[in-house]
Amino acid sequence: MIWLLAAQRFPPPEFTETGHKLPGFLAPLPRGPWMEHFDVIVLLMALALASWLALRGRSRRGLVALGTFSVMYFGFWRKGCICSIGSIQNIAQGLADSSFGVPATVLAFGLAPLVFALLFGRVFCSSVCPHGALQDLMLIKPVKVPVWLEHGLRLIPYMYLGLAMIFAATGGGYIICQYDPFVTIFRFSGSALMVSCGIELLVFGMFIGRPYCRFLCPYGVILGMASNVAKWRVRITPDTCTQCRLCEQSCPFDAINPATIETPSRTVKTDKRRLAAMILLLPLLLVSGGWLGGLTGKRLAHKHRTVSLAERIYLEETGKATDTTDASAAFRATGAPVENLYADAQSVRDRYVLAGRWCGVWIALVAGGKLISLAIRRKRYDYEADQTRCVACARCFKSCPQELQRLGLPVPEGAPLAPPNSPAIF
């Protein structure tokens, strides 16, 4: 940035009598352009290496080493900024406001992991994202989350994503950055609330695999959807699956879909009725979601500084408030017409209501899609990595007897193996 080379024009005041000290920077100072470009190069190289380690090298040890580097470089050295997770807010505001410019480096950090997800799956989550890598390194003794709770908690990131896009697109702030639990750890500073949240997540992460990635991260939602169309994706076994279930037991993220088992209690006729009911329910969910979202957007608009100022001025103009605030006094000192303020506030409200409706429709669509997916009867003959949830951590590779045999490593006694001439699945 050019201002890094500039000298301070006026010296800061000295509070000799009160002893007040000027606060320091809460966010890291911007770096020079060449350093920001260097960060993008490091990101692209890390993504490429993670893709190779996860898909071709199939190396858990290599991904752990790369994750350690990402935590040190993108986390503690770069202090979590620029962050791919938070960059989607800049992009959302740039799409909603043509006058808002998104820096090229922020755009690169937001889109590069998405492009790699479209090609290779969630390799960014595996060992490049410092948030995910830090949690992965903290995992000691994973426990399984109940299936019903897992399905419910996985809806939270979709809601979080919708709210974050509303606030960013309407200029209401970047809540992903404001409530990031790990940035305070990377910077060794922050509010007591966020520091405690970060520590608690790391403690939970010792027993629950990546709680932030699975149940909170809004960027993971986007990468998960992109991973569904990835041409090259994580394969658990290099040969025919023998359904030994060892890979399922080794995954701490519940990201492996088991082979389907026919049960007498489920019939095709019953499944079709359930699916039809969920499809018919979807339009009602969308309408309800849009209505509730509009109401929510209207209430959230009160948090915007323009709307809150207009409401305060209105109270003072109508005599419902006898005193003035610093904000209202500063506005009156400008001499700007009150009518223009009211018009701006109404414009902000309209944007919030519209964004709230879209967010409500989005959440309803996610919930309805979840119900429909649970009603669909699928047939799987092998244990497969779920591309939406799989973070390409490579834990399941060495649990597969087929993989151990391919590498010439000892195979556990009694583990089933496929016939020697079975076709490879790559």
Q: Output the average pLDDT for the chain.
A: 84
Give me the percent of the chain exceeding a pLDDT of 70: 86
Mean pLDDT, range 123-145, rounded to an integer: 93
> Is the pLDDT score of 279 beyond 70?
yes
Q: Are 222 and 162 in contact (CB under 8 A)?
A: no
The candidate with the shortest Cα–Cα distance to 126, out of 60, 183, 39, 40, is: 60
pLDDT (tens digit, 9 = 90+) per residue, 220-234?
999 999 998 898 888
Element (H, E) at 401: helix 401-407
Question: Which residue spans within 170-306 are E strands per DSSP?
Answer: 256-257
State phi, psi for 388 to the nearest 5 degrees.
-70, -40
| Orientation of helix 84-96 relative to helix 156-169, angle to 10° | 50
Mean pLDDT, range 240-264, rounded to an integer: 78
Q: Count H helices, E strands: the chain?
A: 19, 2
CB atoms within 10 A of CB 348: 19
Q: What is the pLDDT of residue 7?
A: 42
Residues 6 or more apart whose Cβ sits within 8 Å of residue 174: 86, 89, 90, 164, 167, 168
The candidate with the shortest Cα–Cα distance to 253, out of 199, 222, 217, 229, is: 217
Cα 26–32–33 angle (5° rounding)? Answer: 120
> Is the pLDDT score of 205 beyond 90?
yes
> Is the pLDDT score of 277 beyond 80?
yes
Q: What is the pLDDT of residue 9?
A: 45
Q: What is the CA radius of gyration of the chain?
A: 26
Within 301-396, residue ranges assigned H as helices are: 305-317, 326-334, 338-375
Strands 384-385 and 256-257: antiparallel
Domain boundaries, the chain: 39-260+384-407, 268-375
pLDDT (tens digit, 9 = 90+) per residue, 371-391?
887 777 667 767 788 888 999
Mean pLDDT, range 7-26, rounded to an integer: 52
State phi, psi for 385 to the nearest 5 degrees.
-75, 130
